[in-house]
Amino acid sequence: MTTLAAPPTLEDLESLELLDRDQSILAFNERVFDWACRQDVPLLERLRYLCIVSSNLDEFFEVRAEPHLIAKTSQDSDGTYSADSFDLLSKSVHDLVNRQYSLYNLELLPAFAKQGIRILSHSERNKAQTTWVHQYFHSVVKPLLIPVGLDPSHPFPQVANKSLNFIVRLGGHDAFGRENDIAIVKVPRVLPRLIRLPERLTSRGALFVSLSSVVRSHLNELFPGRDVGQFSQFRVTRHSDLAVDEEDVKNLRTALRQGLQHRHYGHAVRLEVSAGCSDYLSEFLLKQFHLPEGALYRVPGPVNLVRMGQLVDLIDEPKLRFKPFTASTPKKLQHEHSIFKKLQEGDVLLHQPYESFEEVLQFLREAVNDPDVMVIKQTIYRTGSSSELMDLLRQAVARGKEVTVVLELKARFDEETNINWADKMESIGVQVLYGVVGLKTHAKMMLVTRKEGASYKRYAHLSTGNYNPTTARFYTDFSYLTANSSLTADVEHVFTHLAGQSRLARLNQLWVAPFYLHRRLVEKIEHLGERAAAGVPTRIVAKMNALTDELIIRALMKAAFQGVEIDLIVRGACMLPAQVSGLTHRIRVRSIIGRFLEHARVFYFREGDDVSLYLSSADWMNRNMLRRIELAWPVLDPKLQQRIIDECLVAEMMDTESAWELLQDGKYHKVGLKPGQKSVSAQNALMNLHQLRAMNVHDRQEHEGA
């Protein structure tokens, strides 16, 4: 008699192992790399995607690699990181890097050459080109180089994070008769990595030389009287996540400024050298940086592919780029009337970049220029080094308005920019706050208080993305403009809490981390699980950038086990093991990688016929829930709810062109077409829809002008 296997139990579910976070991050970069490989993507855009992968890997090493490395070199495992985890990580990254350079050398460079765009090596340059490069080296490059020969009085120099350097093995003797054979040449960051040759030296197209090639072909001149033998370019990546004990500093801005001075010289975590680097030189460098063999990357090309992105900016060939896209303006904001008046009629939703971020700037412009506006409050996380938005806030102060800015100094890799903004803002009278000690202020909100008659009325802007006009052109996000008195009162309470660090008042609509958001999400998921177990049709659809919070993951898995149908759209890292037979088979996880960076956070919950939908600044990560100030707010207008469902959730679940599914094997697979099914791209469909709207607005304006 055949014994049937017992059905899975909750105990089986609870013992199900979650997916590895770092491997999931690398899997995301594999999906980005796929766009660099696609033949239907314009050539310059393919290079851009390749550079994005390299930039992502840089940040991965700067932030995530150190614990693995420590476990490898100390052989001390805490169960999370170990020598094995380092080896597995190293294998995955080496494989991806090898495929990157294979694509760069065997596909992209030949494709550029067919377009008349070439990066000439020393051996490919003719006499006139060689002469020009020689002159360029002596007039621009050489004055900035300081070759350092190593000896007891000249130790190995400080090499900055991700900087370009050369190591050289010298023959003969130095000026003092010694046989010191190793020298280092540091190449300053101020020099461009790609240099375009003058048109008179090109027969057609565009010719470039790389800075590394320029230095390499003149190494002999840097060491007169010595024989230059073995040499290699190299780059070291260092751990760069700033750690400041906020409880132990009197001035966070000063402490961060001091920390930034040391960021470029943290512990080494990766070493890149030329593919032809000798074992003698590579072993010397590994020993110098205290790195194991697995941290060495031999690359057949530039050691910093990120800087090859300069080519994208230097080539003006529209046919090699995505077709230009013009964002539309929401119908409600198309007429020349006050935005405040429009918001009194109802909330306004902007779906960026399909709709223009200009309307957010216009909201602030109107607030700055309106004599009845008394107060402007805003959070700043990433706004860029040049920002009209920040200039508008300065104008508001000049017009006598009270301006408060909650500026997050600890926005990773934007710390210096934000410190500079803090200096500028404070110098003209802006009240600059740095949030709450120990927490990053990641919430995106703006509050305008306006005198209307004998009372004051508030208007708010909430967003899933940053106040950055540049990234708003290629990040998908939702902006929400409202005059809802209940919601704007909540926003006021949050600003009051951030300023005075008093107890947060009881809120009406907002879910705020680290106080309520985590608990409310888990409670909502658990409630739907209980209702599903009772036979009520239930559904969760959630879109975010990352899903790594274990408590939320376990709640989702249990709810699905109880009968909730769950669809998750997670662009990046996801630790939830989906589609596991009998356990998580009701959970479907997909990732959309496209022309635009999917960045919006949308949470949809359905219980029978009751639907609730939230927009949020927070991903479902432990840090967002417990170590940041984050917001989630409900969309109550049924029409706006449906628009978000249609344009975001349904559209992306129907995507068959840019979507990947996480299957039971823990790996992502491209979504395939079923027989008779047409290929669908959610982003292309939305671009077409809003391009048409933008054209209709233009035609109507032309007609009205006539």
Indicate which residues carry an active-site annotation. Answer: 442
d(Cα 571, Cα 234) in Å, to the nearest integer? 33
Identify each DSSP E strand in 415-516 by its residue range.
Answer: 431-433, 440-441, 444-452, 455-463, 475-482, 511-513
Pairing outcome for strands 402-407 and 373-380: parallel
d(Cα 160, Cα 165) in Å, to the nearest integer? 9
Which residues are 207's β-sheet partners? 118
Contact predicate 406/378, CB 8 Å = yes
Torsion sign (Cα): 614, 543, 10, 624:
negative
d(Cα 405, Cα 200) in Å, to the nearest integer? 52
Per-residue DSSP letter, 355: B
Pairing outcome for strands 511-513 and 475-482: unpaired
Pairing outcome for strands 227-238 and 268-274: antiparallel
- How many Cα neighbours within 13 Å face the side chain of 514? 15
Classified as helix, coil or strand, 590 is strand
Torsion sign (Cα): 313, 319, 323, 326:
positive
> What is the Cα Rg of the chain in Å?
28
Q: Which H helix or E strand runs over 68?
A: helix 66-74
- How many Cα neighbours within 13 Å face the side chain of 653? 15
Nearest to 304 by CA among 187, 197, 183: 187
What one-character-per-residue DSSP string does 120-183 give?
--GGG--HHHHHHHHHHIIIIIGGG---EE-BTTBPPPP--TT-EEEEEEEES--TTS----EE
Q: Which residues contact 646 (CB under 8 A, 6 or more apart)?
A: none
| C-alpha separations of 516 from 277, 475, 524, 626, 628 in Å | 55, 27, 12, 10, 12
